[in-house]
A and B are shown apart, each in its own frame.
Chain A
Amino acid sequence: MCHLRLSNVSKRFGTQEVIRDLDLSIEDGAFVVFVGPSGCGKSTLLRLIAGLEDASAGTIEIDDEDVTQLPPARRGLSMVFQSYALYPHMTVRANIAFPLRMAGLDKAAVDRKVTEAARVLNLTDYLSRKPRQLSGGQRQRVAIGRAIVREPKAFLFDEPLSNLDAALRVNMRLEISELHHQLGTTMIYVTHDQIEAMTMADTIVVLNKGVVEQVGSPMELYRRPANLFVAGFIGSPRMNFINGREAAKLGAEVIGVRPEHITLSPDGGTWRGEVGVAEHLGSDTFLHIKVDGVGQITARAPGEVDLRHGETISLTPEPGKMHLFGKTGEVIRTPEGVS
């Protein structure tokens, strides 16, 4: 249905280059997540694809058709905005029906499609309400309803869950993933939250300062980050980075080891350190340990671990789970071998 390709796309606002010479290909039916820190150009990239911004250079193709100069409505894409952008003076029914009315469908067809979308999204009881009479999650679903009735070639989501509370966010995450399985339509999803990216994506595109740092499946990025930025961005809590003498011993500028790949023991071990803050999550405990000559290290321990502030403990990074990085931050050895 929809194969999307960006070639050499750049975007400048005045003199500021927000997207730099970007190449990307998105397969039909994929769930692709753009992830990166705030201000790295995720929204801009999404808006370039939608046609809400003009590319300064490069071409955008949908199904092998060059759409770079096409207005948004003619690209056949739907977008769900961060603010939902519902029409406040229209009822839920009118909101969902709006794109269909604009497309000139007859009334019976509009009614049928709106009713069907409302059923899928559990909005049937709210059709005659105004947006301001709805909760955040319901508004979100109306925005999605307005996007799906058009049967677009692809959905674009710009941080759709960032205005919801934590519990609702987890729910909506599941609902959107479920919707993707039902519809099988390509979805492009923007977020700054790496947990959303890891849990929802087939393919993650990590962006930094307008440049693609790495593209891959969630587990690929977790196991074999291509550079320091991706290694630090994917995974929670963050990977530990160690430089200096310890890194030089292994012939690297920086070594990285994830908190879950450190074994704790009362004595013996590679490093010794003093326990600082312990964060108890119930299932796990994250220990922040100060190791002399290495620095601050975060380690994961079982939930029931009983360690006090100030106690001394031994740490051993699991052999074969270390990431070695070179001078420019590029990876020189991943745990599973030379990259």
Chain B
Amino acid sequence: MATLHTQSTARLMMSPSVILLLAWMLIPLSMTLYFSFLRYNLLMPGMEEWTGFFNYQYFVTDPAFTAALVNTLVLVASVLVISVGGGLLMALLLDQPFFGRGIVRLLVIAPFFVMPTVSALVWKNMLMHPVYGLFAWVARGVGLEPVDWLSSAPLLSIILIVSWQWLPFAALILLTALQSLDEEQMEAAEMDGASALRRFVHITLPHLSRAITVVILIETIFLLSVFAEILVTTSGGPGYDSTNLSYLIYTQALLQFDVGGASAGGIIAVILANIVAIFLIRLIGKNLET
């Protein structure tokens, strides 16, 4: 796009999609922003009035807010650690030649294609259920008291379910990165006297740093807004033990019909997501530079 003419033509051609995208994002965002400053409850139609920052104050001082904020951050951090750590181990394993590797690779990827609601229901009813669940059956088999996962360790259960969904994604990305590692580099390190562990630390990990960064950034975006898994399993309970920000906003808007409060929560969630993003980019973004 060298000349002025081609530049303006290019702008013209791109404008429909740019305008559509902007409208898609800006209209809901500005409406949310607008509602967040209104007293707006669906049970009291026609009584909307300007309240300034009252909704924000109300949302932030709600005891549920702190719990939800902490739960959100714990959920994101734990799932990141489990999926990146486990994905790394899995990728290393799948990179080794063994019988039936093609089939195993395919099976490992499978959880990623299962809808979040479906996989959460499978975990709830077939694995973690205190009576019918596989875990309970195993526990009884070795003579232990079955654990009611979803009520005694609700956040941990959610973390396990979400990690199970994201593990294949991390494993897949890391596996492809691993396969692009130059074999001769590993051999050179071997001749230089590096043990298997040191080859992993000094050669493999630095090679994977960019892929790990990508996995962390993408997963974070999605993990900040985990919702379906909570809705179909614990409904945020008991109490607020497994409520995260998106679930709290949902209870505000659709269970208490408080549009204004929910909008304020939404804006706070957007701000939080941006803080996390800036923090992450600062921390690991340099890995993305070439």
Binding site for B on A (CB under 8 A): 50, 52, 71-73, 77-79, 81-83, 85-89, 98-99, 102-103, 146, 150
The answer, among A89, A98, A146, for a CB contact under 8 Å with B207, is A89
Shortest Cβ distance from residue B284 to the other chain A in the assembled complex, whole angstroms = 15
Which 10 residue pairs of A and B lie closest in terms of their CB atoms, listed nearest first?
A: A99-B192, A85-B188, A85-B184, A73-B193, A89-B206, A102-B193, A81-B184, A72-B191, A102-B194, A85-B185
Provide the bound-state CA to CA distance between A83 and B183, in Å: 10
- Asked if B187 and A146 make an inter-chain contact with CB atoms under 8 angstroms apart, the answer reads no
Contact A87 B203 (CB under 8 A): yes
A94 vs chain B, min Cβ distance (A): 9
Q: Which of B185, B191, B203 contacts A77 (CB 8 A)?
A: B191
Chain A residues in 8 Å Cβ range of B188 = 79, 81, 85, 87, 146
Residues of B within 8 A of A71 (CB): 190
Kindly identify which residue among A50, A79, A98, A103 contacts B202, using a CB–CB cutoff of 8 Å.
A98
Beyond A98-B202, A102-B198, whether A85 also contacts B193 by CB under 8 A is: no
Q: Is the CB of A73 within 8 A of B190?
A: yes
A89-B207, A98-B202, A102-B198 are known contacts. Are A83 and B191 too (CB-CB below 8 A)? no
Nearest opposing residue in chain B for A47, CB measure = B187
Q: Across the interface, do B191 and A52 meet the contact criterion of CB distance under 8 Å?
A: yes
- The distance in angstroms between the C-alpha atoms of A264 and B149, with both chains bound, is 97
In whole angstroms, what is the CA distance A269 to B187 when docked?
59
Docked complex Cα distance between A248 and B184 (Å): 51
B190, B192, B207, B209: the one within 8 Å of A150 (CB)? B192
Query: Among A78, A82, A86, which residue has its beta carbon within 8 angstroms of that of B191?
Result: A78
B206: chain A residues within 8 A (beta carbon): 87, 89
Which residues of B are found within 8 Å of A50, using beta-carbon distances? 191
A85 touching B202, Cβ below 8 Å: no
Chain B residues, Cβ within 8 Å of A83: 182, 184
- Majority secondary structure, B binding face: helix
Instruction: Give which listed residue, B184, B187, B189, B209, contacts A98 with CB less than 8 A.
Output: B189
Q: Tell me the bound Cα distance from A62 to B97 in angstroms.
A: 32
Q: List 7 A-B contacts (CB under 8 A).
A: A73-B193, A77-B191, A83-B182, A83-B184, A88-B185, A88-B207, A146-B192
- Across the interface, do A85 and B207 meet the contact criterion of CB distance under 8 Å? no
Report how far A81 CA is from B202 CA in the complex, Å.
19
Which chain B residues lie closer than 8 Å to A72 at the CB level?
A: 187, 190-191
Closest to B290 in A: A132
Bound: A224/B202 CA distance, A = 50
Q: Is the CB of A85 within 8 A of B203?
A: no
Task: List, in ascending order, chain B residues with CB within 8 A of A98's CB.
Answer: 189, 192, 194, 202
Which residue of the partner chain B has the closest CB to A83?
B184
Chain B residues within 8 Å of A102, by CB: 192-194, 198
Q: How far is the CA of A146 from the CA of B193 in the complex (A)?
A: 12
Docked-complex contact A99 and B187, CB < 8 angstroms? no
In the complex formed, the residue of B with least CB distance to A81 is B184
Residue of A nearest to B187 (CB): A52
B168-186: which have CB < 8 Å to A? 182, 184-185
Q: Among B182, B185, B192, B198, which residue has the most Cβ atoms of chain A within 10 A?
A: B192
- Cα distance A79–B191 in the bound complex, in angstroms: 7
* Residues of chain B from 140 to 191 with CB closer than 8 A to chain A in the complex: 182, 184-185, 187-191
Bound: A87/B207 CA distance, A? 9
- Alpha-carbon gap, A10 to B103, bound state (A): 35
A228 to B185, CA, bound (A): 39
Q: Are B202 and A73 in contact (CB under 8 A)?
A: no
Inter-chain CA distance A150–B188, complex, in Å, is: 13
Q: Are B198 and A85 in contact (CB under 8 A)?
A: no
Cβ < 8 Å to A, chain B residues 183-235: 184-185, 187-194, 198, 202-203, 206-207, 209
| Most B Cβ at <10 Å: residue of A50, A79, A82 | A79
Indicate whether A81 sits within 8 Å of B192 (C-beta atoms), given known contacts A89-B207, A98-B202.
no
Complex Cα gap A187–B193 (Å): 20
- Report B-chain residues with C-beta under 8 Å of the C-beta of A52: 187, 190-191
8 more A-B residue pairs beyond the given contacts A86-B185, A87-B188, A102-B193, with a C-beta to C-beta distance below 8 A: A52-B191, A72-B187, A73-B190, A81-B188, A85-B182, A85-B185, A87-B206, A98-B194
